[in-house]
Structure 1
């Protein structure tokens, strides 16, 4: 009998991760809030809405019964949208007594209103002393590519290194490799903030800009992510790793990225409400842009690209106008020499 893992969330990423674990010989319960998905996954071995071309392993089992999903689980992995983490965790919390599972998540966003990272939401909701972690799985990854066994490398971050190593071992195989990291703050910020920049990258593509422009956006976007992250106490080295520049590259360049696709549609002149309605899946960068706007003000941190994207999304600013304004800004040095490559304090 192998250790049981409960994967909460049967979207594209949750389904692919659950399927990978089954292929690795693990016992997996995939929880979905939608009972209609259960027979489709269990009997047809498909998840048509999220991964229409992907045949699931016969041994992958789904359930809409949350208690049954987490019963006996050694690891509980949250893979629901960021702004659903709290409500799902509130249901999980009372079921943890005496179980001590490792709690992990693979979400990439910041909670609206509270501005909390996902690990902070989990810690605020779940009963202390009833679990290990949280452990964060993040990095350059699209579910569609993992489903075809494309070589993928991710970060698994936790202050509890032993817990991170357990999760690392569960997932690793000949095409899926994880590296441990103790900078939970930096890993979660990199994962969330790159979604905002990816909306901008998509918008540039939709407007017809070329490779020079996209490279400029990604490079200066990374500078902003690093600036805010170090302001908040993250290790600047994290942002040149998998959950920083790695995730930024894949999200800003791939048609699999919902954030890139949303930005591309905006660049082609579509309205935001229509873009989100037609996407069929959550675009994390839209809500994250609002949180980043608020955090940058609180931290007194200059983030002109992120602010421009916020203005487009929430204030109706024309994309070409904000681009013109960005290019007309006063000249500055490339590097902020206030940053240091010394290790910053590690925070949960």
Structure 2
């Protein structure tokens, strides 16, 4: 049986008028990409002076000050103006602010409007994914996500970058996938340097974006503590397994986690202190107190909060995530970093893959128990 060739050349329609809500680094980068793709883009920022600088100087002085922005990109601090007569919206705000921002834009959002959530995380207490909490605030809209290995500055500078656009496909989307919101958003953002892929696994894409933040902190902690490449490679690989397990338990596809929004984002975030998650972990691994990290400045680190929300959700659905549990114990329960990671490494010996159901007492664990008894 031969596999049918992919359908090539299907005609789709990009979204013409796009509002980007959130004038931080990533919001500015996405707005710049959409403007470069010849879309009519309005970027909303709460700061009037930032909007003025973008419109007049074509730079965002608060974020990405050294990156020239397309002259066609418009900015405003007026929410109603940003959302007037738009075809689609990208929500690009910190995860902790997403619910309140979604509620603020609700009066300006008509039924059926496609919304792409570009925030990564899981809401504390509720355990909701970002798309799910937006759905509560904006019922009747089509909600998806954009995620992938994307440092904002590199994206805005035009370095070749790829990301995934994910929406749950309706029956109509199955019949005409080129007309789905995922396909139309992917087309709307495609430039010579930005390549968008299409996914129908919204859960898998969002879980990858949330969990990678926590794994990046783990990698940073071990790097800061003086360990090297072997350790980081092990954490990335086993961290991806934790991603797969949680995604699968929530109805996502394990395969999605091997893509851009999972493995791709994980590798990027765990490999550079450009990532605030990795950077936080490195500082903690060096023994710097949490309050003194980043020179004492208040810096939003999504994985800091995600460590709790990811672990809470995993416990709720019965998924074992030992790396995330370790990070959570250090950040929240004030566990000793080296002792916590030593406990992680000396857990019972398991099979890989998980289908091999085996668990052996770790001899290091046994030896430690004997030594404790003797002492």
- Asked whether the equivalents of residues 149 and 162 of structure 2 are also in contact (C-alpha less than 8 Å), the reply is yes
Q: CA deviation at 1:114?
A: 1.5
Alignment match, 2:136: 124
Query: How many residues were matched structurally?
Result: 334
Distance in 1, Cα, partners of 2:181 & 2:82: 21
Alignment match, 1:111: 123
- Asked whether the equivalents of residues 161 and 194 of structure 2 are also in contact (C-alpha less than 8 Å), the reply is yes
Distance in 1, Cα, partners of 2:95 & 2:346: 35
Distance in 2, Cα, partners of 1:233 & 1:75: 27
Q: CA deviation at 1:68?
A: 0.5
Q: Highest CA radius of gyration, 1 or 2?
A: 2
Distance in 1, Cα, partners of 2:98 & 2:344: 35
Alignment match, 2:303: 285
Secondary structure in 2 matching 1:30? strand
Distance in 1, Cα, partners of 2:221 & 2:303: 13
Q: Where in structure 1 are there 5+ consecutive unaligned residues?
A: 340-348
Secondary structure in 2 matching 1:135? strand
Q: Where in structure 2 are there 5+ consecutive unaligned residues?
A: 1-14, 174-179, 358-375
- Calculate the TM-score normalised by the size of structure 1: 0.92
User: In the TM superposition, what whole-angstrom CA distance separates every residue of 1:24-82 from its partner, at most 9, and x where no partner exists?
Assistant: 11111100122232222222222223213212222222111111100011011100011
RMSD of Structure 2 on Structure 1 (CA): 1.7
Mark the CA change 1:97 to 1:75 in structure 2 (over 3 Å): closer, same or farther. Answer: closer
Q: Structure 1 stretch 223-232 or stretch 12-21: which is displaced more? A: 223-232
- Asked whether the equivalents of residues 210 and 310 of structure 2 are also in contact (C-alpha less than 8 Å), the reply is no
- Asked whether the equivalents of residues 150 and 163 of structure 2 are also in contact (C-alpha less than 8 Å), the reply is yes
Secondary structure in 2 matching 1:180? strand
Distance in 1, Cα, partners of 2:336 & 2:47: 38
Matched, 1:172 2:190: yes
Q: Structure 1 stretch 36-45 or stretch 244-253: which is displaced more? A: 36-45
Matched, 1:141 2:153: no
User: In the TM superposition, what whole-angstrom CA distance separates every residue of 1:248-298 from its partner, at most 9, and x where no partner exists?
Assistant: 101100222111111111111112223267465421111110011211211
Distance in 2, Cα, partners of 1:281 & 1:178: 29
Distance in 2, Cα, partners of 1:139 & 1:278: 29
Matched, 1:157 2:174: no
Q: CA deviation at 1:105?
A: 1.3
- Calculate the TM-score normalised by the size of structure 2: 0.85
Matched, 1:220 2:220: no
Secondary structure in 2 matching 1:136? strand
Alignment match, 1:21: 34
Distance in 1, Cα, partners of 2:53 & 2:349: 56
- Asked whether the equivalents of residues 78 and 105 of structure 1 are also in contact (C-alpha less than 8 Å), the reply is yes
Distance in 1, Cα, partners of 2:234 & 2:110: 50
Mark the CA change 1:34 to 1:308 in structure 2 (over 3 Å): closer, same or farther. Answer: same
